[in-house]
């Protein structure tokens, strides 16, 4: 096996001095490299803003019915139920089932959920209900 002298010493298996292996970078703990500039990501792997651990987790369940309209179970936050119901109704409409309705139940953990979190959970709950086995 050939070796090449990199910036931090010889590196096994590299031709032409291409530099150290990613695990051999001594200036970062654990050999992690910093994210390139302009990617919008931090070195820890979190997106812009670096939200970590304190974000709300929203889980939803949707039960289909033949009665038009979407009802929403209790959700913390003012106006949250309207956002979730609208997202669920739009998801039904985009699937070609706007004439149907159902009941949406949302559970949250963590901090207060953002409207986008509720809308995403509602859309995913409708998609899961439509993809699941039909019960007669």
Spatial distance between the Cα atoms of 40 and 46, rounded to a whole number of angstroms: 9
Question: What digits encode the pLDDT tens for the residues 59-80?
Answer: 999 999 999 999 998 777 656 8
pTM: 0.57
Strands 57-65 and 9-12, by their bridges, are: unpaired
How confident is the model over 46-64, as pLDDT tens digits? 555 545 555 678 899 999 9
Lowest mean pLDDT among 13-17, 69-73, 90-94, 101-105: 13-17
């Amino acid at each position: 096996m050939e070796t090449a002298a990199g910036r931090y010493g010889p590196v096994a298996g590299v031709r032409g001095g291409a530099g150290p292996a990613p695990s051999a970078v001594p200036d970062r703990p654990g050999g992690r490299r910093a994210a390139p500039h302009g990617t919008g990501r931090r070195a820890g792997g979190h997106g812009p803003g670096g939200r970590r651990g304190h974000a709300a987790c929203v889980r939803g369940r949707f039960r289909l019915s033949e009665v038009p309209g979407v009802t929403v179970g209790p959700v913390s936050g003012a106006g949250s139920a309207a956002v979730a119901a609208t997202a669920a109704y739009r998801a039904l409409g985009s699937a070609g089932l706007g004439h149907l309705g159902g009941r949406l139940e949302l559970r949250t953990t963590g901090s207060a959920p953002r409207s986008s979190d509720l809308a995403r959970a509602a859309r995913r709950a409708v998609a899961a209900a439509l993809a699941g086995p039909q019960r007669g």
